[in-house]
């Protein structure tokens, strides 16, 4: 695989290991166009729209090297666009010679269906055009790649026979414009030869978000404009100008092209969110993970979202009729979280907080758990989930659970389940994450946790999720007495409480 494709796929979240085992090809590496048409187009100098009839097998085959060079021609803009930093769409015009079939206009629709795999497909290009010499006929543009040496294959000839059309293919000078090239083709023609052309981007509502490298920076405004032109719905293109290491997980960005409005609307798993992309964290690559966690919840469960962002766990959980406590330290995230609660009409199911995650766990979470856990019985119980999606740091917050409920009545009927995220560059990321969680909690999780590979973030960097029930000895600083039967609130007496306090 060449640099371009490996980088593009990497940017879209494929792991380097996957790339090695799967076979991906770029358009350029998988195409093989007959050389003659392209070279003829270049040198014939004929006016666009004129054509000559070509007899079957009347062309010679070009030597392989020339063919390789010419392979790229049909889909390449003219060489003069190389190095362009300000987009001039006019400069992309070029003429290529393509095979056409002259067909009576009454049957063109039916023939088009029968020959759909043989006609030329380019963005914005009509496959049927007027015949300049005969108003009762039309010209059907064929793909030179599918008609080597202008000679129709047997199956195409068979189809033409059925329609009573002579199998004579004509040559036609077709004018290609900027609209007929794909963004990848345009950028490959403009950027320095032999360097990576990355047209991959993340889409967040109307915003396309790039992460350009140094050699691409002189072309950044052109790249931005090409992305807007070629992607309907994208009206703003930004480039990341700092790595994502800020406390709030957002990053500085430069608007490369289009409007400078970074307040956008996105849809994830059928739920709408609004957010200011320049001020809060939003990653479209986490939608599956958000869905996976929400899928684990049942109506009536309680979710504590320690690093909630604008609500992609919290809001779907509330929609599922869970009670949600959602927190984020970034005041902007907190405000957009409130906004999204209103937008999705789940205001009454979510309590929102704007505090440090540690304070949130030691305050509202502790308070709620100490109030609710003693009420749980084997027969009637609620599940409590704590989501901690701050992969760079969250594992270091796990020590908060050590003795969080010390002194509280011990309940084994329900222990809260933690889903904590972490990055790992380790050869065995699952082991690494488990060991780091254990170090933070001060106990072994062997046989009582599961680890999940969320996504490949960069070559050799994985995002993992570890899920476990907080062991009773961690939470209460003692094992819950085996004989202790969880009691319902009504059955509990003050004696129960004083005995438990003594035990702790
Ligand atoms: C990786 S984002 C995750 C957001 C959201 N949960 C998601 O899945 O898209 C982490 C969030 O944690 C917030 N954050 C960072 N440090 C924090 C802290 N110490 N306490 C609470 N929130 C924090 C950031 O503002 C950011 O919104």
**Dist CA 329 CA 263 (whole Å):** 20
Asked if residue 328 lies in contact with residue 311, where contact means CB atoms within 8 angstroms, the answer is: no
Residue 24 has pLDDT above 50, yes or no: no
Q: Is the pLDDT of residue 72 over 70?
A: no
Atom 11 (ligand 1) nearest CA: 307
* Ligand 1 centroid to residue 322 C-alpha, Å: 21
Ligand 1 binding pocket includes 309 (Cβ within 6 Å): yes
pLDDT digits (tens, 9 = 90+) for 442-479: 999 999 999 999 999 999 999 999 999 999 999 997 77
Query: What percent of the chain clears pLDDT 70, i.e. is strictly above it?
Result: 79
- The rounded distance, in Å, linking the Cα atoms of 460 and 68 is 35
253-258 and 236-240 beta bridge pairing: antiparallel
Length in residues, the chain: 504
Handedness of CA 291, 296, 297, 298 (dihedral sign): positive
- Per-residue confidence (pLDDT) for residue 146, from 0 to 100: 86
Reported confidence tier of residue 413, pLDDT bands at 50, 70, 90: confident
pLDDT in tens, 357-408: 999 999 999 999 999 998 888 888 899 999 999 999 999 999 999 999 998 8
Q: In terms of DSSP bridges, do strands 350-353 and 449-458 run parallel, antiparallel, or are they unpaired?
A: unpaired
CA atoms within 13 A on the CB side of 446: 1
The closest of 402, 405, 386 to 394, measured between CA atoms, is 386
**Helices marked H in 347-390 — which ranges?**
357-360, 366-372
Distance 286 CA to ligand 1 centre (A): 13
**Average pLDDT of span 166-185:** 92
Q: Is 311 in the pocket of ligand 1 (CB under 6 A)?
A: no
| pLDDT at residue number 30 | 27
Report the DSSP beta bridge partners of residue 424. Answer: 462
Q: What is the pLDDT of residue 22?
A: 25
Query: What is d(CA 383, CA 365) in angstroms, rounded to the nearest whole number?
Result: 14
DSSP letter assigned to residue 123: T
227 CB less than 6 Å from ligand 1?
Answer: no
- 325-365 per-position pLDDT tens digit: 999 999 999 999 999 999 999 999 999 999 999 999 999 99
**Which atom of ligand 1 is nearest to 356's Cα?**
20
Per-residue pLDDT band for 58 (boundaries 50, 70, 90) equals: very low
Instruction: Report the pLDDT value the prediction gives residue 73, as an integer from 0 to 100.
Output: 65
CA distance 365 to 357: 10
Distance 304 CA to ligand 1 centre (A): 13
Residues contributing to the annotated binding site for S-adenosyl-L-methionine: 290, 328-329, 356-357, 389
Of the pLDDT bands very low, low, confident and very high (cuts 50, 70, 90), residue 250 is confident
Closest to 183 (Cα-Cα) out of 242, 143, 226? 226
Q: Is 389 in the pocket of ligand 1 (CB under 6 A)?
A: yes
Phi, psi of 70 (to 5 degrees): -70, -20
Report the first-to-last Cα separation within the chain, whole angstroms. 62
Q: What is the pLDDT of residue 26?
A: 24
pLDDT surpassing 50 at residue 429: yes
3-class DSSP state of 60: coil
Residue closest via CA to ligand 1's atom 19 equals 356
Q: In this structure, which long-range contacts are made by residues 76-80, counting pairs with CB atoms below 8 Å and at least 24 apart in sequence?
A: 76/185, 76/188, 76/189, 77/176, 77/178, 77/181, 77/185, 77/186, 77/189, 77/190, 78/189, 79/189
- Residue pair 70/107 in contact (Cβ under 8 Å)? The answer is no
**Lookup: tokens for 460:** 């050799």
Ligand 1 centre to CA of 292 (Å) is 18
How confident is the model at residue 212, as a pLDDT?
Answer: 92
Residue 59 DSSP one-character state: S
487: number of Cβ within 10 Å: 17
3-state secondary structure 304-327: EECCCCCCCCHHHHHHCCCEEEEE
- Bridge partners of residue 461, in order along the sequence: 458
Task: Determine the atom of ligand 1 nearest the C-alpha atom of 393.
Answer: 16
Residue nearest to atom 12 of ligand 1 (CA): 307
pLDDT in tens, 128-138: 999 989 999 99
Which residue has a Cα nearest atom 4 of ligand 1? 309
Give me the percent of the chain exceeding a pLDDT of 90: 65
| pLDDT tens-place string over residues 31-52 | 222 322 332 333 332 323 333 3
Least confident of 51-55, 305-309, 407-411, 500-504: 500-504
Q: Read off the pLDDT of residues 186-217 as tens digits, 9 standing for 90 and up.
A: 999 999 988 888 667 999 999 999 989 889 99
Question: Please, which pLDDT band fits residue 499 given cuts at 50, 70 and 90?
Answer: very low
Q: How many CA within 13 A on the CB side of residue 5?
A: 14
| pLDDT (0 to 100) of residue 478 | 73
Cα–Cα distance measured from residue 439 to residue 442, given in angstroms and rounded to the nearest whole number:
5
pTM of the full structure:
0.77
- Mean pLDDT, rounded, for 484-503: 37
Q: Is the CB of 356 under 6 A from ligand 1?
A: yes
Name the one residue in this structure whose structure tokens are 């540690």: 358
Question: How far is residue 420 from each of residues 158, 386, 392, 439, measured CA to CA in Å?
Answer: 63, 8, 11, 14
- Reported as a single tens digit per residue, the pLDDT across 143-154 is 988 888 888 888
Say yes or no to pLDDT of 496 above 60: no
Query: Rounded to the nearest whole angstrom, what is the distance from the C-alpha of residue 306 to the centroid of ligand 1?
Result: 8
Which domains occur in the chain, in start order?
Answer: 3-76+89-180 (no CATH), 198-261 (3.30.300.110), 283-497 (3.40.50.150)
Q: Residue 472, Cα to own-chain centre: how many angstroms?
A: 39
The pLDDT value given to residue 504: 30
Whether the CB-CB separation of 47 and 132 falls below 8 Å is answered with: no
Please, which pLDDT band fits residue 185 given cuts at 50, 70 and 90?
very high
Q: In sequence order, what are the residues at sequence separation of 6 or more whose Cβ sits closer than 8 angstroms to the Cβ of residue 161?
A: 167
- Number of helices and strands (H, E) in the chain? 17, 18
Residues belonging to the binding site are 290, 328-329, 356-357, 389
């Amino acid at each position: 695989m060449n640099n371009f494709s490996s980088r593009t796929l990497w940017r879209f979240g494929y792991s380097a290991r996957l790339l090695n085992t799967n076979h991906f090809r770029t358009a350029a590496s998988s195409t093989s166009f007959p050389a003659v048409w392209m070279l003829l187009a270049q040198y014939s100098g004929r006016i666009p729209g004129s054509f000559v009839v070509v007899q079957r097998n009347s062309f010679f085959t070009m030597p392989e090297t020339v063919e390789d060079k010419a392979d790229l021609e049909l889909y390449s803009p003219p060489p003069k666009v190389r190095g362009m930093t300000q987009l001039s769409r006019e400069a992309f015009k070029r003429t290529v010679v393509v095979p056409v079939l002259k067909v009576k206009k009454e049957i063109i629709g039916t023939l088009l269906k029968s020959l759909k795999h043989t006609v030329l497909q380019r963005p914005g290009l009509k496959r049927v055009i007027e015949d300049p010499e005969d108003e009762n006929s039309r010209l059907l543009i064929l793909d030179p790649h599918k008609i080597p040496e202008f000679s129709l294959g047997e199956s195409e000839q068979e189809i033409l026979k059925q329609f009573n059309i002579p199998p004579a293919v004509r040559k036609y000078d077709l004018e290609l414009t900027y609209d007929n090239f794909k963004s990848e083709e345009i950028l490959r023609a403009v950027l320095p030869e032999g360097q990576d052309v990355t047209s991959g981007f993340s889409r967040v509502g109307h915003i396309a978000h790039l992460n350009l490298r140094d050699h691409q920076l002189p072309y950044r405004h052109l790249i931005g404009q090409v992305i807007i032109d070629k992607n309907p719905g994208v009206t703003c293109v930004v480039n990341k100008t700092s790595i994502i290491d800020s406390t709030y997980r957002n990053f500085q960005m430069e608007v490369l092209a289009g409007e400078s409005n970074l307040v956008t609307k996105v849809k994830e798993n059928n739920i709408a969110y609004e957010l200011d992309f320049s001020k809060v964290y939003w990653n479209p690559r986490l939608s599956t993970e958000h869905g996976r966690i929400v899928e684990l919840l049942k109506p009536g469960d309680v979710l504590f979202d320690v690093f909630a962002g604008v609500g992609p766990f919290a809001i779907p959980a509330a929609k599922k009729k869970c009670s949600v406590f959602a927190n984020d330290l970034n005041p902007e995230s907190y405000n957009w979280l409130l906004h999204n609660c209103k937008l999705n009409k789940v205001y009454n199911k979510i309590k929102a907080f704007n505090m440090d995650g540690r304070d949130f766990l030691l305050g509202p979470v502790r308070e709620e758990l100490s109030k609710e856990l003693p009420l749980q019985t084997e027969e009637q119980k609620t599940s409590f989930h704590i989501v901690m999606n701050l992969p760079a740091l969250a594992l270091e917050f796990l020590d908060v659970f050590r003795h969080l409920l010390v002194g509280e009545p011990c309940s084994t009927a329900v222990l809260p389940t933690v889903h904590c995220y972490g990055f790992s560059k380790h050869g065995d990321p699952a082991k690494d994450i488990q060991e780091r969680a254990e170090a933070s909690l001060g106990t072994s999780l062997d046989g009582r946790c599961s680890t999940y590979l969320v996504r490949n973030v960069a070559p050799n960097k994985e995002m993992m999720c570890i899920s476990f029930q907080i062991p009773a000895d961690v939470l209460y600083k003692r094992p819950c007495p085996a004989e202790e039967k969880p009691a319902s609130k009504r059955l509990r007496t003050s004696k129960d409480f004083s005995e438990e306090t003594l035990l702790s």
